[in-house]
Chains A and B, each alone.
Chain A
Amino acid sequence: MSQTHKEALLKMQEPASTDVGSAADYIALMKPRVMSLVVFTALVGLVMAPGAMHPVMAIAAILLIAVGAGASAALNMWYDADIDAVMSRTQDRPVPSGRVTADGALTFGLWVSGLSVLSMAVMINYLSAALLAFTIFFYAVIYTMYLKRRTAQNIVIGGAAGALPPVIGWAAATNSVSIEPLIYFAIIFFWTPPHFWALALIKNDDYQAANVPMLPVTAGVKSTLSQIVLYAFVLFGVTMLPYGLGFSGLFYASGAAVLGGIFVALCLVLAFTGEKHRNRVAGMTFAYSIFYLFLLFVLLPTDKVMGL
């Protein structure tokens, strides 16, 4: 850049609606931590699928799923900027903090969504592109714009969006969907409520202030705790299905039983913990739930490789 151009830019006074977001802000818009779980579960779906996919195609598919997930996160941050600004956990996000404008986040989210879906259709196959488009639509429109502010079942139904990546991975590899990816979908689907409700218990005041009808806000702590325990038991049963239906072996089943047993025990401890220590145990349950899902999805391909 020439010195004159630089000086002209330095002198330029623009309205606050100007986007001053850095590259890091735009990366933050894509919720990289959530994206990492999406990438990982999609990769497991792809690896578990029968047949071999060319490594370049596999890399392209995973990248596009990651980009699509990031785009839907940007759309979520655009729409939720008002409630993000109220909650301590989210008020430093790029839009509520003013580093990225709402228009900037919307434009970015729409362009990247379109680009990821079209590229998926051209590079991989139409089925995975359609599933990716549906996932983005479900998360950004059905969950973010409709469910989140209206019903305590927001994250139960909305959890479907987060559960779809292994199905997309499978579809990318096989151009079909069968029972196996649907079981992986069910695992994440039933894992989501206890995971989020543990966090909602800790951040109850935040959700109340932001008027988000999370279960602890609408139904109270007691009811939330019993729902957490109920879902933990259902999740335990669902994680046994890959073994029960015969597409995973004993290695997976025993690992899933131990991990699931610990999760159920933690949820029970949480349910019977007094108010004084509840947030600490809820924090442990939330942290363990991430570790639990991660290890479940490590067990699946490991079991396949070991062939037990």
Chain B
Amino acid sequence: MSEDNKPKEEVVWTEELLRERRKRATIMAIALLAFIALFFWVTLVKLGANVANRPL
């Protein structure tokens, strides 16, 4: 039997697996938000006083 014809094992999405997946998505979202915040913060530091001193 070739690799392609092998019956595939299946994952049953139990409550616990779903809970883990939700947790993973939440942590990923938090990490992304933290990354955005870090970018913003570094930009502020780089611009320094020029942040306030710009034409509006």
Contacts and interface: CB of A to CB of B under 8 A. Distances in A.
Interface of A: 1, 6, 9-18, 20-23, 26, 54, 56-57, 59-60, 63, 119, 123
B24 A13 contact: no
20 contacts: A9-B13, A9-B18, A10-B18, A12-B13, A14-B13, A15-B9, A15-B10, A16-B10, A18-B11, A20-B17, A22-B20, A22-B21, A23-B20, A23-B28, A26-B24, A54-B45, A57-B45, A60-B38, A119-B35, A123-B38
Contact of A23 (B11, B14, B24, B42): B24
Contacts of A59: 38
B45 A56 contact: yes
B12 A23 contact: no
A16 B20 CA distance: 17
Contact of B8 (A6, A17, A119): A17
Interface of B: 8-15, 17-18, 20-24, 27-28, 35, 38-39, 41-42, 45
Contact of B23 (A9, A16, A23): A23
Contacts of B8: 15-17
A13 B12 contact: yes
Contacts, number: 57
Given A15-B9, A56-B41, A63-B38, A10 B14 contact: yes
A10 B9 contact: no
Nearest to A56: B45
A21 B13 CA distance: 12
Contacts of B9: 15-16
A59 B21 CA distance: 29
Given A9-B18, A21-B24, A23-B23, A56 B42 contact: yes
A20 B9 CA distance: 13
- In the A-B complex, list the 6 residue pairs whose CB atoms are closest, starting with the nearest: A16-B9, A15-B8, A22-B20, A23-B27, A23-B24, A13-B10
Contact of B24 (A9, A22, A123): A22
Contacts of A16: 8-11
Contacts of B18: 6, 9-10
A26 to B, nearest CB: 7
Given A20-B20, A123-B38, 9 more contacts: A10-B13, A14-B11, A16-B8, A21-B24, A22-B23, A23-B23, A23-B28, A59-B38, A123-B42
Contact of A13 (B11, B14, B41, B45): B11
